[in-house]
Structure 1
Amino acid sequence: MKSFTNNIRTIFFVFICSFAVAGTFASCNKKLKTTELIITKADGNVLSVTAEMAVTPEEREYGFMERKKIPDGTGMIFIFEKDEVLRFWMKNTPTALSIAYIDRNGIIKEIFDMQPFSLEGIESSSSVRYALEVPKGWYAKNGIKPGDKIRLNF
């Protein structure tokens, strides 16, 4: 009887947790606000990227999960409340991405490429405030490098 009661409790717990997780993901499938980010390269050339804004913990956790197509010239900016070492992975993300870690002054500190579905954590080597994900290779194709500056319009 004790085993039966424990099984019922386990099933109930899994059932409740499933609804909690589904609710979190459902709320992250909503359309995020966007902003136009202006990037000034070291040579003075300027370009822009239209970025969805991931502000809440749920939005940041979900990110580009399940997205099969991310158009060139678009991305997602992850906005954190304080400077910290950030770590991203590609769980449930089918599209290859490049990520830039950005300090609170808008300076790109590092850029990394990330592989679809990889569980390898890509960690910033110093505390930063933002991360900008774009389609893989976009930074290289546009000559964007660490030290370039992003004007943050939010």
Structure 2
Amino acid sequence: MVLERVWKGLLAVAVLLLIVILALQTGLIADPWADDTRTLHVLDEDDDPKAIIEVELADTPMERYTGLSDHDSLADGEGMLFIHASEGERTYVMRDMDFDIDIIFIDANREITSIEHARAPEPGEDGEALEYTGHGEWVLEVPRGYANQTGMEPGDEVELVAE
């Protein structure tokens, strides 16, 4: 009788642990011990940084959906890095955006594949209709014009610095 209760208790703990692990991996709940910011370097052909950007990580479905729409602006050297589980074609929209951005698509090899210069929707305009598509596993958003200002271009490599 006692042994049966111990086994049931262990089974309940194991099931609960499995549920928490799956919820963390799928992004249903945020990792409470994770740091949400990192430093990203865009490297030139000599592996020297042509841009150093402090990025907020958007690595859960909710964070990727919200994106920068809850921000009033970004300063040069700031951005948001959207992290997807795999490489593929991605379409980003300007939902609820108040400012223009550059959208930089980065493949699984950490190479910039394309850069889009996105404008914020006009008053009364549906931001969902402003679509920008590219190929990548990561998508970096920075203030509009920052990619040109720093000389970023397709083929540049990026490096996410461990903090």
1: distance between equivalents of 2:137 and 2:160?
11
Q: RMSD value over aligned CA atoms? A: 1.7
Identical aligned residues as a percent: 27
Shift of 1:58: 0.3
Q: Name the count of aligned residue pairs.
A: 122
> Residues 107-143 of structure 1, C-alpha deviation per residue, up to 9 Å, x if partnerless?
000000111133221111x4x2000000000010011
Equivalent-residue separation in structure 2 for 1:83 and 1:136 (angstroms): 24
Q: Which amino acid aligns with 1:129?
A: E
| Uncovered stretches (5+) of structure 1, i.e. residues with no partner | 1-26
After the TM superposition, list the runs of 4 or more consecutive aligned residues in structure 1 that deviate by more than 6 angstroms. none
Partner of 1:149: 157
What are the Cα deviations for residues 62-114 of structure 1, in whole angstroms up to 9, with x where unaligned? 00003222111000000000111100010101010001000011100000011
**The structure with more radius of gyration:** 2
TM-score norm. by structure 1 comes to: 0.74
In structure 1, distance between residues paired with 2:131 and 2:82: 16
Structure 2: give runs of 5+ residues left out of the alignment. Answer: 1-29, 122-126
TM-score by length of 2: 0.70
Which residue number in structure 2 is paired with residue 51 of structure 1? 55
